Amino acid sequence: MKALIVLLTALIVAVPASAQTFAITGGTVVIGDGSEPIPGGTVVVRDGRVVAAGANVAVPAGAQMLDATGQWVSPGIVGGFTRLGLVEVSAVAPTNDAAASESEFSAGLDIAPAVNPLSAAIATNRTGGVTRAVVAPRTSSTIFGGQGAIIDLGADMDAVMRPRAFQFVELGERGAARAGGSRSASYAMVRNALDQAQRYAANPNAYGGQTSDALLNRVDAAALVPVVQGRVPLIVHVEQARDILNVIGLRADYPRLELILVGVSEGWTVANEIAAAGVPVIASALNDLPEQFEQLAATQSNIGRMRAAGVQVAIGMIDDNDAHQIRYSAQYAGNLVALNNVPGATGLSWGEAFATISSYPAEIMGLGSEIGSLRPGRRADVVIWDGDPLEVTSNVDIMLIDGVQQPLTSRQTRLRDRYLSIEERQLPQAYEW
Amino acid sequence: MRKAAVLLAATLALFGCATTGGQSANSASAAEDRSAAGVFDPDPFPSTYRPYPGVPTVIRGATIYDGEGGQIDNGMVYFADGRVQAIGQSLEVPEGTTVIDGAGLWVTPGIIDIHSHLGNYPSPSVAAHQDGNEITGNNTANVWTEHSVWPQDPGFSRALANGGVTTLNILPGSANLFGGRSVTLRNVPSRTMQGMKFPDAPYGLKMACGENPKRVYGSRNQTPGSRMANVAVARQAWIDAQRYRDQWENYRENGGSPPARNLRHETLAGVLDGDILVHNHCYRADEMAIMIDMAEEFGYSIASFQHAVEAYKIPDLLREHGVCSAMWADWWGFKMEAYDTVFENIPMVHNGGACAIVHSDDDNQIQRLNQEAAKALADGRRAGIEISDAEAWQWLTINPARALGIADETGSLAAGKRADIVLWNGDPFSVYSRPQMVWIDGALLYDMTNPRLRPISDFELGQPGEGSVR
């Protein structure tokens, strides 16, 4: 116990209140834009925003100083595709708001009210360096899941940074199953929905869709209007080469669609086509098994090869502990760096690997000027680590979100502390809290 | 037996005399077993695995974790004839030995995953492949999961090349109180399950407590529908198995006509005889304590708790009863009994003097068990639990070997043991390190720098991405 108390005391460093100017000096600074880490760099924060970061950054007069010598300073991790905050315990239905299997609505569902800022998953992922996340609904009875959000992981009730930030749709094997059993059905369904949305947009009052047997009800049609008009991106889950090209092909008839692909295990086999189409990808990082027939070409080199072909790519967690383990993102990025030493494999540079979990997902979601990097003007989501943030043995020492220092405790750290010693005591553990 | 013999002959023809010694010894002991049993063959699906040929090899200049807690810096490992011959700071090796410069590299025993579903829940995970759990009754101790193992699961090759896994224990699922027998495999590509089967490894019995059995059967209005019925049904099964065992003992002592065989009872009786090891799926501390008492009631011991998410609450109990805990580094939140995870579970169990094991139960994480151990180790240190890297490597090799009853054969780099060895291209507790070479029984079965030494399963042949480094 003694060791722990000493350690915790050492970690509790008072970071100045957000209105002040302060400078973090001496640490290895990660900008998050794809550039390599900068030893002995400085990060200056004022009013919850980054003023400057890098080498040779002048510290403003009067700034409070925070010494990060021996530590790493980076932007917070941005979960590229998650269900964070929607689920407390996956198998306990009342605590799982990721999908709505009995709902009459689909595209019209808005996950914003389902996000629970106090969920254990948010606190736990905060301890792993995650500060923001793209949060998507899960589909259940049809191909559309609904409207997702961008959230922050701050310890307050104001989690949703951008509601209705995108629409989510399944168009691979799962989409085919949801639509009635084939890709013909899923494409008929998505095309009909987009057509109906256009009809709705042209004259909302004339649009029917009030009855339960309508092919697209009013709520869902209305939600798809900004999608078909290109004002809200459409995140499409696909894995297979055929499906990737089919989705890109939708733009022939719906030219304003802002497509983002997620999953994309076989992306490397059609990387040039994805790059030429300018469609960004939020890919699963380490899928290397043919878990489904749509993933036969899966390899850990997928992201590296897509990146090499010029695809804009971030790491996402779809269907991979996506409500609980967004903290794996850093480990996954580190594995992509390791691939560089494997002949025949394609990895990423360290700087690019970090960018796949910071600025790249932010930019794909249209938030690159706000979050995901320590470039000037960005929100001060700053993490100070006890080592290389992509290394599995590193941990978070200090976290700021919007310049505000965050607690790094959770149910899990409390349970750990309670049971670190199981020696005989005067009263049971239940009295220790 | 005939088919096995033909296969053996073919294998021998291919690989020559390197393997003949082991073969005749095994056949002889199998025959003795049968005559002891007198009535039935206790090993009707015998291992046909024989080590592949290797060359005498020495790795020198490497950092070595011996798997039993020891570390040798700038050390040497010499192996030949499929076995570790010597390990030390400086070794004399015969002329002609292949020398590998291990400067800047790490050498460890091959990783052992005590909880895998490769083969019985293979990729692709289509409905036709869901062979890992016989979800038709609360007690399926009669099933042997080796009969579900598909050797063409592409996952085996990933576990080898990316994970350095040389031995795995395939377990049946946890829907039943008694899920059936597990099987321990060498991670070698093979046309048959028997060609992977770890020679002379004891069988395991998968048991389960907690949510899964009561949910699966309770939802069908069958027993068990509650935790109390989980225990009641299991106890009755042990009582029945005791009677069955007594009948056979009586028959062996007094003759007469043999009792009717019952595969369910037979497996449980094997546990009571100490021949079959219990691997008990259990998450909660309070339920593990109940399982320990049930084992005492019927006179068997539990080799391992599987998952053991709350083992950190009872390391004293686990230590006293000599039960290993096979754990994830950090899985949590997927169901109620996995809500109290702490990321320090593994080091807290180790620190409490109990046996800790890192397991995967997953076809992805089996490729990174070294990283999972590293995460747990680092989290433990941050909480003030100082465990050395070499000590922590026990979680990946000797501890699972002990819980599987194969510690005399593998799990550490002791002279005489099988040469199951991984050469890592860096510190294996770093995210940036990968297996560079992997030997199983001294045969080089993976070499990162040699594209020909990368197995491709039948399933992947001729498919998109074939031959791509995975």
> Which of B348, B429, B432 lies at the smallest CB-CB distance from A334?
B432
Contact A147, A114 (CB under 8 A): no
Question: Is A422's CB within 8 Å of B155's CB?
Answer: no
Contact A323, A84 (CB under 8 A): yes
pLDDT of the residue at A424: 87
Q: What is the DSSP string of B328-357?
A: -SS--SSSGGGSS--TTHHHHHHHTTS-EE
pLDDT of the residue at B18: 36
Per-residue pLDDT of B144-157, as tens digits, reads 999 999 999 999 99
User: Residue A130 is inside which H or E element, if any?
Assistant: strand A130-135
Per-residue pLDDT at B21 exceeds 80: no
Q: What is the DSSP string of B278-326?
A: EEEEE--HHHHHHHHHHHHHHT--EEEEEE-TTGGG-HHHHHHHT-EEE
Question: Is B336's CB within 8 Å of A338's CB?
Answer: no
Single-letter residue type at A206: A
The dihedral of CA A202, A208, A214, A220: what is its sign? Answer: positive
CB pairs under 8 A between A and B: 171
First to last CA, chain A: 14
Residues 307-326 of A with CB under 8 A from B: 320-321, 323-325
Q: ipTM, 2 decimals?
A: 0.95
pLDDT of the residue at A13: 57
Per-residue pLDDT at B207 exceeds 50: yes
Q: How many CB atoms sit inside 10 A of residue B238's CB?
A: 20
C-alpha–C-alpha distance, residues B470 and B464, integer Å: 12
The DSSP symbol for B431 reads: T
pLDDT of the residue at A2: 40
C-alpha–C-alpha distance, residues B146 and B126, integer Å: 19
Segments in B225-275 forming alpha helices (H) = 227-254, 263-272
pLDDT of the residue at B39: 81
C-alpha–C-alpha distance, residues A62 and B179, integer Å: 68
Contacts of A335 (CB under 8 A, 6+ apart): A285, A286, A300, B368, B371, B431
pLDDT of the residue at A214: 81
User: Residue A145 is inside which H or E element, if any?
Assistant: strand A144-152
pLDDT tens series, chain A, 433 aa: 344 443 444 445 556 655 689 999 999 999 999 999 999 999 999 999 999 999 999 999 999 999 999 999 999 999 999 999 999 999 999 999 999 999 999 999 999 999 999 999 999 999 999 999 999 999 999 999 999 999 999 999 999 999 999 999 999 999 999 999 999 999 999 999 999 999 999 999 999 888 877 889 999 999 999 999 999 999 999 999 999 999 999 999 999 999 999 999 999 999 999 999 999 999 999 999 999 999 999 999 999 999 999 999 999 999 999 999 999 999 999 999 999 999 999 999 999 999 999 999 999 999 999 999 999 999 999 999 999 999 999 999 999 999 999 999 999 999 999 999 988 889 999 999 8
**Residue B467 pLDDT class (50, 70, 90 cuts):** confident
Query: Nearest CA of chain B to the CA of A295: how many Å?
Result: 9
Query: Nearest CA of chain A to the CA of B223: how many Å?
Result: 21
**Backbone conformation region of residue B200, classed left if phi is above 0, alpha if psi is from -120 to 50, else beta:** left
Contact A256, A224 (CB under 8 A): no
pLDDT of the residue at B349: 98
C-alpha–C-alpha distance, residues A360 and A366, integer Å: 10
Residue from A392, A369, A358 nearest A30 by CA = A358
- Cα–chain center distance at B149: 14
SS3 B1: coil
SS3 B28: helix
Residues 223-242 of A with CB under 8 A from B: 241
Q: How many CB atoms sit inside 10 A of residue B175's CB?
A: 21
Per-residue pLDDT of B328-377, as tens digits, reads 999 999 999 999 999 999 999 999 999 999 999 999 999 999 999 999 99
Question: Is A344's CB within 8 Å of B468's CB?
Answer: yes
A205 at the B interface (CB within 8 A)?
no
Question: Is B352's CB within 8 Å of A422's CB?
Answer: yes
pLDDT of the residue at B38: 65
C-alpha–C-alpha distance, residues B315 and A422, integer Å: 8
Residues of chain A positioned with their CB less than 8 A from the CB of B331: 321, 325
C-alpha–C-alpha distance, residues B325 and A282, integer Å: 36
Residues 252-291 of A with CB under 8 A from B: 266, 269, 286-291
Average pLDDT score over chain B: 93
Contacts of B446 (CB under 8 A, 6+ apart): B160, B161, B435, B437, B438, B453, B454, B455
Contact B301, B295 (CB under 8 A): yes
Question: Is B367's CB within 8 Å of A90's CB?
Answer: no
pLDDT of the residue at A19: 60
pLDDT of the residue at B23: 40
Residue from B192, B145, B149, B152 nearest B172 by CA = B145
Query: Nearest CA of chain A to the CA of B76: how many Å?
Result: 24
Per-residue pLDDT of B42-85, as tens digits, reads 999 999 999 999 999 999 999 999 999 999 999 999 999 999 99
pTM metric for this prediction: 0.94
Segments in A250-293 forming alpha helices (H) = 271-277
Per-residue pLDDT of B5-16, as tens digits, reads 333 333 333 333
pLDDT of the residue at A213: 73
A120 at the B interface (CB within 8 A)?
yes
Q: How many CB atoms sit inside 10 A of residue A235's CB?
A: 27
pLDDT of the residue at A210: 82
CA within 13 Å, CB half, A65: 10
